[in-house]
A and B are shown apart, each in its own frame.
Chain A
Amino acid sequence: MPIQINRGVIGKEFPPYAVTVERGKIKEFARAIGDPNPFYLDDRVGAASEWGDIIAPPTFPITFRDESADTNALLRELGTDISRVLHGEQEFELHRPLRPGRTYLCRARVSDIYEKTGKSGPMAFVVRETTVTDSDNEIVAVMRGVTVVRL
């Protein structure tokens, strides 16, 4: 029996949440990817750089989660669970590099849900857009993620 996705979730806005970028998390993330770039890992190279400190790799904003939110709540609201979902697409617009010690505000919303039938059967595509701003309310990054739900 295919499941039904709750399209009423389109437009849903999540409560804004703040994240502070930790120096150690940048390094842990770069090392997990196996990227030895000294601009991520070496404090002295960072200090001498145009940014005055180490910076985060391009995909680092994916770590910006709302720690107080129940990560399965959206899946439940959509009418599915983690065993049915796959990461379909991801995009980052990066306006300036993220630096340690800075606090950023994230605003996420479900911007679209659409359905398609692929080789492996019917699927729903849930598009989530997250805008990341700095303390001056300037946009530093925008993320768009597409979650595929196998129906």
Chain B
Amino acid sequence: MKYAKVYADDVNVGDELPPLVKGPIQQIQLTRYAGASGDFNPIHQDDEFAKSAGMGGVFAHGMLSMGFVAQALTDWAGAGRVTKLGVRFAALVRLKDVVTCRGRVVGKSSKDDRHLVELDVWAENQRGERIVTGRATVALPARG
């Protein structure tokens, strides 16, 4: 069930996030993301510009892929639960690529009433190449 509530008690190291599949990436989404984010770098919009910059053509904003990873986290943990998310942009996402976001719990800690879960997160394209890798922390409620 989507947006089910996850409690810290029920999470174990090794648990995996439900994969989130996004795309295929279309130019219109990059244009919408430019407008929404304010990042109008022509390298994401103008194929000629991207080619002349030596990038072989238009590619997606790294921040769009990071937004997908954040969505995978909040679909599972709930909106407002992510306390840290850090990623490296490992490879370019091109038009028509399909991006699958994944994650795995690597640690749990509790201090007072705060229950933190740490995850390795990543996203891969349709060839299984990692396009984003990173770490995240979510704060979850406890039962009772």
User: Which residue, A25, A59, A62, A94, has most C-beta atoms of chain B within 10 A?
Assistant: A59
Alpha-carbon distance A39/B79, docked complex (angstroms)? 6
A86 to B60, CA, bound (A): 11
**How near does chain A come to B101, taking the closest CB pair, in angstroms?**
11
Whether A63 contacts B67 in the complex (CB less than 8 A), given A57-B74, A95-B83, comes out as no
Interface contacts (Cβ under 8 Å), in number, total 113
Question: Is B87 in contact with A57, judged by CB distance below 8 angstroms?
Answer: no
Determine if B85 is an interface residue (Cβ-Cβ < 8 Å). Answer: yes
Count of interface residues, chain B, beta-carbon cutoff 8 Å: 40
Give A82 to B53 CA distance when docked, in angstroms.
9
Q: Once bound together, how far apart are the Cα atoms of A21 and B105, in whole Å?
A: 32
- CB pairs A–B below 8 angstroms (9 shown): A31-B32, A32-B33, A33-B68, A37-B3, A37-B74, A37-B79, A50-B80, A90-B89, A94-B85
Write the residues of chain B forming the contact surface with A, with a CB cutoff of 8 angstroms: 3, 22, 29, 32-33, 35-39, 41-43, 49, 52-54, 61-64, 66-68, 70-71, 73-75, 78-80, 82-89
